[in-house]
Chains A and B, each alone.
Chain A
Amino acid sequence: MFEGNMETKTTYNPRSPAVKRLMREAVELREPAEEYYVQPLEDNLFEWHFTIHGPPSTEFEGGIYHGRIVLPSEYPMKPPNIIILTPNGRFETNKNICLSISGHHPETWQPSWSIRTALLALIAFMPTPGNGMIGALDYTVEERKALARRSHSWQCPVCGNISNLFRKRSKSSLCIDESMMNKIVNKDEIREKTGREELEGQTDAQNSELKKSKDSSELKEAVEAGQESNQSRHVVEDSLKVK
């Protein structure tokens, strides 16, 4: 067992599509994005740790939440399992989260989704009602706000202090993903945002439009598929219609 990292890494079968795919995703996700940072553990390509920012203009704003993504050996044929570790008041900690994009719903998972899709869906789902779904919590707004504040001092036994993880990143001028998130999560936000976006440079705006439309259609599928709770489905659907 004490062969060192170099040794253990070489034991993955590089011809296995799951290994190839996960290595590709690791490269794609190497840089922290504005609202998430996710990487595989050094010694296990099939377990990743993520850190997400609570969605803005919700009771989770300002919170930082950490968790694990455990990939089945059949990934991407079967969905990732998502486990949140930081207390947040929306999802139970240390339990498989029940989302259409997670391990609870292998029948709705699509292999063309990725770890990134799963994380964006997780963020989009935080402000939706739990409705008694497996592992869902319905804490009050105040309780969630308190947990968001407390989240900064939460420590991961593997990654350490999670609030440091995002700081590695230099601030970029425009965050495409953030504006996309707001479209999905909060309608009122969009009106404010649209004004701001119009001020951005022509090329930037065009590029981000292109990326946004693709991102949101991918995410829309992820969010819609197999979602049992009608209420939260409609919340998400309605906000998606506003483009």
Chain B
Amino acid sequence: MSKKQLSAVFVKMGDKVPTTKYDPNVNQDELIMKQQRLIEKEIMDSIPLVGDKEDFSSLEGEYDGDDIYKQKVKNLAKNYKYIRRTRPDGNCFFRAFSYAYLEKLIDDREEFNRFRELAAKSKENLVALGFPQFTVEDFHDTFMEVIDQVGKHHSVLSPGAPAGEDLHKVFNDQGNSDYVVVYLRLITSGQLQRDSSFYQHFIEGARSVEDFCHQEVEPMYKESDHIHIIALSTALGVGVRVRYMDRGDSAEVIAHDFPEGSLPQVHLLYRPGHYDILYPH
């Protein structure tokens, strides 16, 4: 058996629950988990974590025969030239946001330097807030590696592929891509807890900010709402413009800037339950 095959076997062993060695009985939970995996696999196989830049016309094509949406896409096309789709796995806001922002940093050395400094310090802030140091460090290390990969292209002497290609590769590698998402979720949670008296107003029901973070922010695959976007954009000092496209009457696609009044550096398209990246003209 080749090394490659062998490593595939080990990954599979890690995946299998539990191995037949100890438990010959098949139980119901496993069947449910198997089915869930199958659905996830279908999405994984058909949609990349972050797709290629597509011309805006590809969005128009999605809405043949749907006049309300068609009109909205047309309006949007006045402001935007390209769209880049992300996989709908509940992490799409974090993934779209970080991809779009880091892509922008490739050409903006000053902003890159500001952000790198902030990112480097962020770990200590999280540990001070009570996040477990051991695991925060693990995510932070990978996060900084990804940032530094963008930064290395600022050096004239840097060899290798164009920066955009490198970034695209990192974000489509599930392991690294998810590590970036986790770290941004931690930063978001940290911001919410640091300023909990403010964010408490946004949370419905009797949940505390801390509970909300543990249930809706820190676990993977949990979808993002306004509150996540406000907290993350505030924590990083990065303006985000979200275009909300829904079935509402107005022909315009409403724009919201986070934090309010900021200059947008990242543009996202929101359609119920999902975020993609937009590129202005």
Using a CB–CB cutoff of 8 Å, the interface residues on chain A facing chain B are: 1, 3, 7-8, 10-13, 15-18, 20-21, 24, 28, 44-47, 68, 70-78, 81, 83, 85, 94-96, 103-104, 106-114, 117, 134, 157, 213-214, 217-218, 221, 224-225
B204 at the interface (CB under 8 A from A): no
Between A and B, 6 residue pairs with Cβ closer than 8 Å are A11-B3, A24-B138, A85-B22, A110-B219, A112-B139, A214-B132
Given A16-B175, A17-B142, check contact A46 B18 (CB 8 Å): no
Contacts of A13 in B (CB 8 A): 7
Given A17-B175, A94-B23, check contact A112 B182 (CB 8 Å): yes
CA distance A114 to B130 in the complex (A): 15
CA distance A213 to B7 in the complex (A): 40
Q: How far is the CB of A8 from chain B (nearest CB, A)?
A: 6
Q: How far is the CB of A85 from chain B (nearest CB, A)?
A: 7
CA distance A106 to B29 in the complex (A): 13
| Contact pick for A104, options B16, B29, B176, CB 8 Å | B29
Q: Is the CB of A46 within 8 A of B14?
A: yes
Given A83-B22, A218-B132, check contact A47 B29 (CB 8 Å): no
Contacts of A214 in B (CB 8 A): 130, 132-133
Q: Is the CB of B17 within 8 A of A103?
A: yes
Q: Is the CB of A44 within 8 A of B22?
A: no
Q: Is the CB of B17 within 8 A of A96?
A: yes
B38 at the interface (CB under 8 A from A): no
Interchain residue pairs A-B with the least CB separation, the first 7: A46-B14, A11-B7, A17-B175, A112-B135, A94-B23, A110-B218, A111-B182
Contact pattern, B 171-187, Cβ under 8 Å of A = 1, otherwise 0: 00011101100100010
| Contact pick for B3, options A10, A104, A107, CB 8 Å | A10
CA distance A33 to B274 in the complex (A): 45
Contacts of B214 in A (CB 8 A): 110, 221, 224-225
B134 at the interface (CB under 8 A from A): yes
Which one of A71, A112, A113, A218 has the greatest number of beta carbons of chain B within 10 Å?
Answer: A112
CA distance A16 to B178 in the complex (A): 11
| Contact pick for B135, options A74, A76, A95, CB 8 Å | A76
Q: Say whether chain B's binding surface is mostly helix, strand, loop, or mixed.
A: helix
Closest partner residue, chain B, to A105 (CB atom): B219
Which one of A1, A8, A73, A107 has the greatest number of beta carbons of chain B within 10 Å?
Answer: A73
B1 at the interface (CB under 8 A from A): yes
| Contact pick for A70, options B14, B27, B186, B219, CB 8 Å | B14
Q: Is the CB of A70 within 8 A of B7?
A: no
Given A46-B14, A112-B132, check contact A134 B29 (CB 8 Å): yes
Contacts of B135 in A (CB 8 A): 76, 111-114
Q: Is the CB of A96 within 8 A of B29?
A: yes
| Contact pick for A95, options B19, B27, B142, CB 8 Å | B27
Q: Is the CB of B11 within 8 A of A114?
A: no
| Contact pick for B138, options A20, A46, A109, CB 8 Å | A20
Q: Is the CB of A109 within 8 A of B11?
A: no
Contacts of A213 in B (CB 8 A): 130
Q: Is the CB of B18 within 8 A of A81?
A: yes
B131 at the interface (CB under 8 A from A): yes
Q: How far is the CB of A2 from chain B (nearest CB, A)?
A: 9
Q: Is the CB of B186 within 8 A of A107?
A: no
| Contact pick for B13, options A44, A75, A114, A225, CB 8 Å | A44
B10 at the interface (CB under 8 A from A): yes
Q: Is the CB of B139 within 8 A of A107?
A: no
Closest partner residue, chain B, to A222 (CB atom): B214
Closest partner residue, chain A, to B23 (CB atom): A94
Closest partner residue, chain A, to B27 (CB atom): A95
Q: Is the CB of B22 within 8 A of A77?
A: no
Q: Is the CB of A94 within 8 A of B219?
A: no
B144 at the interface (CB under 8 A from A): no
Given A76-B135, A83-B22, check contact A108 B219 (CB 8 Å): yes
| Contact pick for B131, options A47, A77, A112, CB 8 Å | A112
Q: Is the CB of A225 within 8 A of B215?
A: yes
Contacts of A15 in B (CB 8 A): 175
B15 at the interface (CB under 8 A from A): yes
CA distance A74 to B218 in the complex (A): 16
Q: How far is the CB of B105 from chain A (nearest CB, A)?
A: 22
Q: How far is the CB of B215 from chain A (nearest CB, A)?
A: 7
Q: Is the CB of A11 within 8 A of B23?
A: no
Which one of B14, B136, B142, B182 has the greatest number of beta carbons of chain A within 10 Å?
Answer: B14
